[in-house]
Amino acid sequence: MTPKPLRIATRKSALALWQAEHVAARLRALSPRRPIALAPLTTQGDRNLQDSLALIGGKGLFVKELEVALTEGRADLAVHSMKDVPAELPPAFVIGAVLEREDPRDALVSVRWPDFAALPHGARLGSSSLRRQCQLLHRRRDLRILPLRGNVDTRLGKLERGDYDAVILAVAGLKRLALAHKISAVLDVELSLPAIAQGTIGIECRAKDEEMRALLAGLNHAPTWQRTLAERALNRGLSGSCTLPVAGYAEIHGDTLTLRARVGLPDGSRLLAGDISGPAAEAESLGRRLAHELLAKGAAEILRLVAGP
């Protein structure tokens, strides 16, 4: 008797489909007899490309429809870019596994300019990320940061059409789409600290689905899991939002986890930074502690100003 197909909910973008296919291949290696099918969906975040994510509900808009498919039994798993997953999941769902993290840094892509320092005065830089905006403007207040949404091909098309002098994209997405050759320069984390869990693929399932949770446990990459726990705990402690100007980046060396964070005003006029180190086994606690320290140093005021009334 053929086992019931395992259905994977995913967004329809080229990058999302790549990630879902990658997860499917890993699952086939674990369970070769079980058929696996993708269930591509269009999310509200994909449908509305005109408005800022912060205005229309945040990056959780890329996740909600996939969770509805899980609830209604139209899918067994959902594959996400973890940077798009809200800091708090509904109780009915869990992240069953994260795969080994790809390069989490930001990339500058330009037709003409070789790196960030070479951008001319007043250059038009495409990015809708307040995290990137606050850090890059803190370094160079002369830049003009212009909104940029859409899938990777759409963003690159706008650059090549001359709408921008350069755009900022995630290294991980470009590499996964075989577009690494488009990268003009990889931005050092000292210039642009990455987004929470950027470069990490997460697999969500129903909390009560013990069979799926057991299957996914075989895919989970432990060091990436600990880094993700630390960064997401930091984000929960600060704001819980994927759209506010919060950066967090954890690294593990031996048994020690080091977590760095930044919070800033979108115009670059103020940028707070902090870091913490401790046992990797205490990842979530380290994230919470760093959030508390940053809030005490002034992050609470910054986030209140950005979030508005």
Q: What is the secondary structure of 83-97 as a DSSP string?
A: GGS-SS--TTEEEEE
Please report the pLDDT score of residue 260 as a whole number. 98
Please report the pLDDT score of residue 55 as a whole number. 47
Residue 56 has pLDDT above 50, yes or no: no
Q: What is the pTM of this model?
A: 0.91
Please report the pLDDT score of residue 242 as a whole number. 73
Mean pLDDT of 61-83: 93
Mean pLDDT of 60-74: 89
Residue 266 has pLDDT above 70, yes or no: yes
Q: Which of 46, 51, 76, 84 is catalytic?
A: 84
Q: Could you report the per-residue pLDDT of 73-117, keeping only the tens digit for each?
A: 999 999 999 999 999 999 999 999 999 999 999 999 999 999 999
The residue ranking higher by pLDDT, 273 or 308, is 273
If you count them, how many residues does the chain have? 309
Please say whether the dihedral angle defined by the alpha carbons of residues 305, 235, 262 and 59, taken in this order, is positive or negative. negative
Q: Please provide the average confidence, as pLDDT, over all residues in the chain.
A: 93
Q: How confident is the model at residue 238 (pLDDT cuts 50, 70, 90)?
A: very high
Q: How confident is the model at residue 309 (pLDDT cuts 50, 70, 90)?
A: low
Mean pLDDT of 49-77: 74
Residue 50 has pLDDT above 70, yes or no: no
- Burial classification of residue 39, based on how many CB atoms lie within 10 Å of its CB (0-12 exposed, 13-18 middle, 19 or more buried): middle
Residue 54 has pLDDT above 90, yes or no: no
Active site residue 46: no
Structure tokens at 231: 């960064």
Mean pLDDT of 136-165: 96
Domains of the chain: 1-100+200-220 (3.40.190.10), 106-186 (3.40.190.10), 221-304 (3.30.160.40)
Please report the pLDDT score of residue 29 as a whole number. 95
Between CA 197 and CA 236, with CA 249 as vertex, the angle to 5 degrees is: 65
Burial pattern 285-295, b for ≥16 Cβ within 10 A else e, equals ebbbbbbebbb
Mean pLDDT of 283-302: 96
What whole-number distance in Å separates Cα of residue 181 and Cα of residue 198?
Answer: 20
* C-alpha closest to that of 272 among 253, 256, 257, 291: 291
Please report the pLDDT score of residue 44 as a whole number. 63
* pLDDT cut 90: percent of the chain above it: 87
